[in-house]
Structure 1
Amino acid sequence: MYKDQPVPPSNFLRIIVSFFSISIPFYIPPDMKAIKIVGSRRAKVMARVPMPELAGDCVLIKTMAVALNPTDWKHIDFISTKGATAGCDYSGIIEEIGSDVDPAHGLQVGDRVAGFNHGCNGENLSDGSFAEYIAVKAHINIKLPDWMSFEDGATLAVGITTVAQGMYQQLRLSLPSPTSSITAADDAQPILIYGGSTATGTLAIQFAKLSGFKVITTCSPHNFSLVQERGADHILDHNSPTLAKDIRDLAGNELCIVLDCITTGESIIKCCDALAPSSPSRKLQYCGLFTVGALPRSDVEAGFTMSYTALGESFQKWDNYYPGSCEDARFVGDFMKLTSKLLEERKIQNHPAEVGSGLEGVMKGLDRLRKGDVSGVKLVYSL
């Protein structure tokens, strides 16, 4: 959205909500609708699900919109914890604040926020965002500016968390500030963002530019205009047979940093081939969306992101145990505050949203993701 666009209708709701949050308490129903895993590779919309319990460090949110990520259908199909609630990305209105929430988070009843929840969490079956009400960690919320709709806001948090962990915790780029501006790319250090037209990729491009980098990115040709609009300096077809050489040429054979927003065997090889030659004066870094084991090049330092660690609670995925990380929770919490300020200044744009409605619509959207029938947009559903 841009400055000359009208204020979205959702903001009139915000005004009403803010008034009544002072006058009378919200009505919170005894149960709700949610998407639950009901068996192996099966999830369905359940009509009478108990309301989530509000822990002291959480906020209760009336969900206004949810967005879909590949992890949603993969958890349903490959982990299938019966009774777990699906979904990660959400936007909504805060209706209650836990007794232990730090006032430094700056959250109030009636605030319009976006964030992510641990969908399909086998450790806590009420976690997950595909529900009419959700209880989520307070620190993981982004305050939405007045100009942004709930539907656009729902696209943000999983991608923002991945950018925070990947680019700034793992790759240790310098953080932007609310006063950062885009500078010329001529003499800037290059970074490769592989998969720039993904929901994470378009955000990563913008943050990398605000951090002062020259951005080289890859995607399908039909998404070239999208990544160009988000600020990419050089755009290449990810299927080009000369991709690695073309990247090396654009970077002057000085590429040392890669964020891989696809993270397949093929993308890992291409990313490593594009990196500069080994040298004692260089530190070569690759970061993917999950742990990848040994890289094709032993001189490249491997990193990965795991968004769920930002929630600060321990969990298990398959045979891997992840302890709760206070450091990750603090870092991403601070990054969410930074993102709120950058959004307020209109220095970050959301990924394009394709909007549907209802939890029943979510079920159809999950099938589209399974079939690979989505490119250059994020599926969002108003509730």
Structure 2
Amino acid sequence: MKEAFIFPGPKVEIRNVDFPTLPTQNHIIIKVVVSGSNPKDWAIAERVPGVNQGDDIAGIVHSVGTDVTNFRPGDRVASFHEMLTPHGSFAEYAVGLEATTFHIPPTVSFEEAATIPLAGMTAALGMYQRLGLPLPWFPAQERLPLVVYGAASAVGAFAVKLATLSNIHPIICVAGRGIAYVESLIDRSKGDTIVDYRKGNDEVVNGLKHALGGVGKLSYAFDAVSDKGSYQNLMKVMDMSNGKITLVLARKKYEGIPPDFNKSYTQVGKVHSEQYPGIKGEKKLSGLLGDQDFGAIMYKFFERGLMKGWFKGHPHEVVPGGLGGVQLGLQNLKAGKASAFKYVFRIDETDGLSRANL
């Protein structure tokens, strides 16, 4: 079968490789119909080259391990592939773990489903396991301001969607080119608003202060950017005694955030394994389910929401050429050309693909 491997640049090599085998009896082999993509696909390749970095699988179950009980061959599924392990989503066939796989209802396209696994779970971990915000089935009952910085990004947009389901308002969104999309996610009647970061850092801080209404400092911030002045701006409005911020880039030095401030990191790979180490200075909540149990539960929540229509994926753009389009898609991601949408790849558009295997 064909599989794409990512190198610094980003550059992509498409190779003929052996058909995957099941790593454990809790795994599933999936015929990939559509692969999603994420900024980390090019970023991690800069330091870990030669890996199939695709982690957003949408396709049809080919085979399952003997311990798998919720899926069977022929099921339409999406799955969050275990990062940096073999057989990611940039391939004809990929491997997913049962706990991080969910059914795709017939009303939802493979393209939409491919936008959800990594970004949706990153948002959920940050909102609930890191910030400790009210869960959708036990929603907020009073005013609870939340800033989502980078609200037009996939992670940020999913955070806004989850906040709405948790009745968290006002949601103060920081966005730029994707403001029109963010506007479609918020409820102005509940105090939700948008601050345009393109006006400069001083105006962002002023906008955040104005949105908070002069009723005190900010207690909760989800920084889906974690760069370009985002956390520095947030720290100017945070409650330094009781505030919490969660960040998406764990390998970064956050100058400007005091060492003892309550900061955490989403580290979405923790829904698969505790091999992702804790970060020095991170403040962890106690008394919660572990990230792996939480992840398994939330993917069922996503599945239910897709079926009922109260949860949706992210806008997307199909890059032509299947695996042959992965390099262009990742180059565009690195260049910052994606705003308020995700690049996805239809694998059957790959040149030279054996249709007999699809």
TM range (shorter): 0.7 to 0.9
SS at match of 1:250: helix
Note the alpha carbon deviations across 1:5-58, whole angstroms, 9 max, x for none. Answer: xxxxxxxxxxxxxxxxxxxxxxxxxxx110024789643111x21111112110
Q: Which moved more, 1:190-199 or 1:251-260?
A: 251-260
1:38-57 residue pairs with structure 2 within 5 A? 42-46=11-15, 48-54=16-22, 55-57=24-26
SS at match of 1:303: strand
- Equivalent position of 1:110 in the other structure: 74
- Runs of 5+ in structure 2 lacking a partner? 279-288, 348-358
State the AA in 1 paired with 2:40.
T
- Equivalent position of 1:348 in the other structure: 311
- Counterpart of 2:33 (choices 54, 59, 64) is 64
- The question of whether the paired residues in 2 share the 8 Å contact of 1:118 and 1:127 is answered with no
**Aligned partners of 1:285, 1:217: CA distance in 2, in Å?**
16
CA RMSD of aligned residues (A): 2.4
Question: 2:47 matched to 1:92?
Answer: no
1:122-133 residue pairs with structure 2 within 5 A? 124=85, 126-133=86-93
Question: 2:341 matched to 1:377?
Answer: yes
- Equivalent position of 2:204 in the other structure: 243
- Equivalent position of 1:210 in the other structure: 165
Question: 2:331 matched to 1:367?
Answer: yes
1:10-49 residue pairs with structure 2 within 5 A? 32-37=1-6, 42-46=11-15, 48-49=16-17
State the AA in 1 paired with 2:306.
L
- Counterpart of 2:290 (choices 318, 327, 336) is 327
**Aligned partners of 2:208, 2:45: CA distance in 1, in Å?**
37
Please state how far the C-alpha of 1:285 moved relative to its aligned partner.
Answer: 0.1
Question: 2:98 matched to 1:138?
Answer: yes
- The question of whether the paired residues in 1 share the 8 Å contact of 2:10 and 2:327 is answered with no
1:67-86 residue pairs with structure 2 within 5 A? 67-80=36-49, 82=50, 84-86=51-53
- Equivalent position of 1:314 in the other structure: 275
- Runs of 5+ in structure 1 lacking a partner? 1-31, 318-325
1:165-314 residue pairs with structure 2 within 5 A? 165-177=125-137, 188-214=143-169, 215-220=171-176, 222-231=177-186, 233-240=192-199, 241-251=202-212, 252-264=215-227, 266-276=229-239, 278-279=240-241, 283-291=242-250, 292-293=252-253, 296-298=256-258, 300-312=261-273, 314=275
CA 363–41 in structure 1, closer or farther in 2 if over 3 Å, else same = closer
State the AA in 2 paired with 1:226.
Y
The number of residue pairs the alignment matches comes to 324
**Aligned partners of 2:42, 2:52: CA distance in 1, in Å?**
12
Please state how far the C-alpha of 1:107 moved relative to its aligned partner.
Answer: 2.2
**Aligned partners of 1:147, 1:254: CA distance in 2, in Å?**
43
